[in-house]
Amino acid sequence: MGKPADDVLLDVRGLSKHFGGIRAMSGVTFSIPQGSIISMIGPNGAGKSTFVNVVSGTHVPDAGEVHFQGEDITGLPGHVIAAKGIGRTFQLLELFGSLSVLENVMVGCHTRSRSGMLACGFSLLSALKEEKRIKEEAMESLAMVGLEGRAHDPIYRLPLGERKLVGIARALGMKPKLLMLDEPAGGLAAHEVEGLARLIHLLVERGLTLFIVEHNMPFVMSLSRRIIVLDEGMKIAEGPPEEVRANEEVIKAYLGEEVC
């Protein structure tokens, strides 16, 4: 495979994944430039979450390659990929309901912690210092998503929109270069979606690259430089929003669904 252009952050080639007899993703190829907002849309079951799971190391692909910052990271374990700078949120959130907002975000920061499970090799003082640093970083992440005031509330008290922000804060705790959001706008009220769009722009201003998976088009149309469309595991279109919106194949894939 040829060397990707310098400003390419993530490059995927021929990525495929089957679950038993189900072809969840097949031969998906595209790249994400540094500093951009790139989105992926497609009907339910199109393979969007599978794509995020394979790139972030939750699943190992059957075929294809994933290159991040020019390095082949295909099939590496999730925590290794996270440490290299790919953060993600989960469509089904995967938060700890009984823990506080702050504790949930600290879980993300711990994946970068030098001690963690290996704390036995550290002095108690350095472990305590590390704990303090992690808490401060988690508070910074919470402040970024506007939830510092809810740090000590248990997750189960928060409405869905705020829980989704906690998921983003947790991913930010890992100091990612690429942040992959799986359906961040799903189930949110209109004013929450506006807040989310502002947050995404703020993150890009701070140097992050965003990859957003969404089921519906309107939210991503206004945000994205380019949109990838998946249908039945395959990429059926890619281009700027206005081009994708007018694409015949895309319209056909969404037939019976609300597009715009």
Per CB under 6 A, residues contacting ligand ADP are 19, 22, 24, 42, 44-50
Smallest separation, CB 60 to Mg ion (Å):
18
Q: Which segments of 43-177 does DSSP mark as H helices, in order? A: 48-55, 78-84, 101-110, 124-144, 160-172
> What character string, x for contact with Mg ion (CB under 5 A) and - otherwise, covers 84-103?
-------x------------
Report yes or no: 47 and 233 within 8 Å, Cβ to Cβ: yes
Report the partner that residue 42 touches, choosing among ligand ADP, Mg ion, none (CB closer than 5 to 8 A by kind).
Answer: ligand ADP
Q: In what order do the strands lie in the sheet with 71-72?
A: 22-33, 8-19, 63-68, 71-72
Instruction: Indicate the residue among 48 and 67 with the shorter CB distance to Mg ion.
Output: 48
Report yes or no: 80 and 74 within 8 Å, Cβ to Cβ: no
Smallest separation, CB 211 to Mg ion (Å):
13
* CA nearest neighbour of 228 among 51, 40, 47, 8: 40
Report the partner that residue 163 touches, choosing among ligand ADP, Mg ion, none (CB closer than 5 to 8 A by kind).
Answer: none
Report yes or no: 28 and 15 within 8 Å, Cβ to Cβ: yes
Smallest separation, CB 45 to Mg ion (Å):
8
49 part of the interface to Mg ion, by CB under 5 A: yes
Structure tokens at 69: 């910052």
Contacts of 21 (CB under 8 A, 6+ apart): none
Smallest separation, CB 57 to ligand ADP (Å):
14
Instruction: Indicate the residue among 130 and 214 with the shorter CB distance to ligand ADP.
Output: 214
> What character string, x for contact with Mg ion (CB under 5 A) and - otherwise, covers 52-81?
------------------------------
